[in-house]
């Protein structure tokens, strides 16, 4: 009986990938229930300084589906973005992060904000409300907005980002290099940091254009007082090259994988005992 239901859920989810509108509705309903059934989990991936010490943690949501196991956000966030369901998921993530941050003393938490959330004033109201209810300070959080969302932003969306920044949140431009944000436009954006997409970091070893791009961005970062984060560091060599290019923060499997809060607390305890994750 439960096996049959399970198989049914699986089929439905896969059918959704074919983008049928009715199937998508079914997944949306399942995901909405998942929020209330506590099937979402927040993993954390370390963001390190040049010496390997942990500076911050990026919150990355997962769906622990009773049948399919762990489902990646790359699969279900796009489904949620088709409706205001993304607001519900976004609020769950922020609330969870506000509760978890006490486990990571002195560290910031980075949270991904969908471009769809930014299309509604609710995003600002939600952030204020959750902060107030949890007693946290906005400056403890970084809100990540992808470059693609920033370059396509309407004046209203830009105003909301500005407003979140004025509330005290740090703003990061995520997946930089995948869109086409001009350096002039970059100057006008209300941001504190830029996260270079991992496609550039992975090419650092054998692509001179990628090296020049990352170095140029690092220099712009110094001039404009922006932190430059290298994403997707998978090897010691990439870590070395990203440092040499002038990046100041580092994230990727080589530094640490996304992991549940409890596992990460262990890593942080180790670090506080002066052991470094990486030299
Ligand atoms: P992102 O914000 O760019 O997050 C980085 C993604 O790269 C994560 O995938 C992370 O696990 C992965 N990653 C980190 N280091 C490495 C590495 O060294 N190599 C490789 N190959 N990958 C690495 P994940 O967790 O599957 O998340 C995918 C995307 O889903 C995120 O990309 C983000 O855009 C979105 N996402 C995740 N959580 C949330 C959320 O709470 N809200 C929203 N709106 N989007 C989210
Ligand atoms: Mg991100
Ligand atoms: Mg990214
Ligand atoms: Mg991404």
pLDDT digits (tens, 9 = 90+) for 22-65: 777 888 999 999 999 999 999 999 999 999 999 999 999 999 99
* 56, β-bridge pairs: 47, 108
pLDDT band (50, 70, 90) for residue 17? low
* 228, β-bridge pairs: 194
Q: From the CA of 2, how far away is ligand 1's center (Å)?
A: 32
Take atom 17 of ligand 1 and give the residue whose Cα is closest.
232
Residue 124 has pLDDT above 50, yes or no: yes
Q: What is the mean pLDDT of the chain?
A: 91
Which of ligand 1's atoms lies nearest the C-alpha of 113? Answer: 44
Take atom 15 of ligand 1 and give the residue whose Cα is closest.
252
- Confirm or reject: Cβ of 256 under 6 Å from ligand 1: no
pLDDT tens-digit series, residues 189-247: 999 999 999 999 999 999 999 999 999 999 999 999 999 999 999 999 999 999 999 99
Q: Pick from 93, 106, 88, 101: which is nearest to 135 by CA?
A: 101
pLDDT of residue 166: 98
- Confirm or reject: Cβ of 199 under 6 Å from ligand 1: no
Query: Considering every ligand atom, which ligand is closest to the CA of 196?
Result: 3
Mutate to test the pocket of ligand 1, among 112, 126, 171, 236 (most ligand atoms within 8 A of CB): 112
pLDDT tens-digit series, residues 80-104: 999 999 999 999 999 999 999 999 9
pLDDT of residue 24: 79
Q: From the CA of 122, how far away is ligand 2's center (Å)?
A: 21
The average pLDDT across 112-123 equals 98
Say which residue, 5 or 265, is predicted with more confidence.
265
Residue 71 has pLDDT above 80, yes or no: yes
Cα distances from 242 to residues 14, 78, 163, 213, 245, in angstroms, run 38, 30, 32, 11, 5
pLDDT of residue 19: 57
| Alpha helix segments (H runs only) across 102-244 | 122-134, 147-151, 155-166, 183-188, 198-201, 208-224, 236-244
pLDDT band (50, 70, 90) for residue 13? low
- Confirm or reject: Cβ of 197 under 6 Å from ligand 1: no
Take atom 3 of ligand 1 and give the residue whose Cα is closest.
175
| Alpha helix segments (H runs only) across 37-84 | 73-80
Take atom 41 of ligand 1 and give the residue whose Cα is closest.
61
Say which residue, 240 or 14, is predicted with more confidence.
240
pLDDT of residue 18: 54
pLDDT of residue 5: 47
Proportion of the chain above pLDDT 70, given as a percent:
91
Q: Give Cβ neighbours of residue 178 (< 8 Å, ≥ 6 apart).
A: 146, 147, 148, 197, 199
Tokens of 47: 């963001």
Q: From the CA of 174, how far away is ligand 4's center (Å)?
A: 7
Q: Pick from 196, 203, 205: which is nearest to 177 by CA?
A: 196
Yes or no: say if 47 and 110 are a contact pair by the CB < 8 Å rule.
Answer: yes
The average pLDDT across 173-190 equals 92
Say which residue, 214 or 15, is predicted with more confidence.
214
Cα distances from 92 to residues 16, 32, 97, 177, 272, in angstroms, run 23, 11, 9, 29, 29
pLDDT band (50, 70, 90) for residue 9? low
Q: Kindly list the protein residues that place their beta carbon closer than 5 angstroms to ligand 3, a single-atom ion.
A: 174-175, 231
Phi, psi of 123 (to 5 degrees): -60, -40
pLDDT of residue 23: 74
Whole-model pTM: value is: 0.92
Q: From the CA of 8, how far away is ligand 1's center (Å)?
A: 28
Q: Pick from 133, 128, 173: which is nearest to 152 by CA?
A: 173
pLDDT band (50, 70, 90) for residue 73? very high
């Amino acid at each position: 009986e439960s096996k049959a239901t399970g198989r049914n859920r699986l089929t439905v989810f896969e059918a959704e990938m074919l983008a049928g509108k009715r199937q998508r509705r079914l997944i949306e309903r399942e995901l909405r229930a998942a929020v209330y059934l506590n099937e979402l989990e927040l993993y954390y991936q370390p963001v390190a300084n040049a010496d390997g010490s942990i500076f911050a943690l990026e919150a990355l949501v997962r769906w622990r589906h009773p049948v399919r196991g762990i489902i990646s956000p790359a699969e279900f966030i796009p489904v949620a973005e088709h409706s205001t369901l993304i607001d519900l998921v976004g609020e769950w993530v922020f609330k969870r992060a506000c509760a978890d941050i006490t486990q990571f003393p002195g560290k910031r938490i980075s949270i991904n904000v969908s471009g769809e959330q930014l299309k509604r004033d609710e995003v600002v109201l939600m952030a204020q409300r959750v902060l107030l209810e949890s007693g946290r300070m906005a400056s403890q959080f970084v809100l990540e907005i992808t470059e693609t969302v920033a370059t396509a932003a309407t004046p209203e969306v830009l105003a909301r980002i500005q407003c979140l920044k004025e509330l005290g949140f740090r703003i990061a431009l995520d997946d930089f290099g995948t869109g086409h944000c001009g350096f002039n436009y970059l100057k006008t954006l209300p941001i504190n940091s830029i996260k270079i997409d991992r496609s550039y970091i992975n090419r650092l070893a054998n692509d001179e254009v990628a090296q020049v791009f990352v170095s140029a961005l690092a220099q712009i970062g110094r001039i404009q007082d922006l932190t430059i984060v290298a994403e997707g560091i998978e090897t010691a060599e990439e870590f070395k090259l990203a440092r040499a290019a002038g990046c100041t923060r580092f994230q990727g499997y080589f530094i640490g994988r996304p992991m549940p809060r409890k596992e990460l607390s262990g890593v942080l305890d180790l670090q506080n005992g002066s052991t470094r994750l990486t030299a």
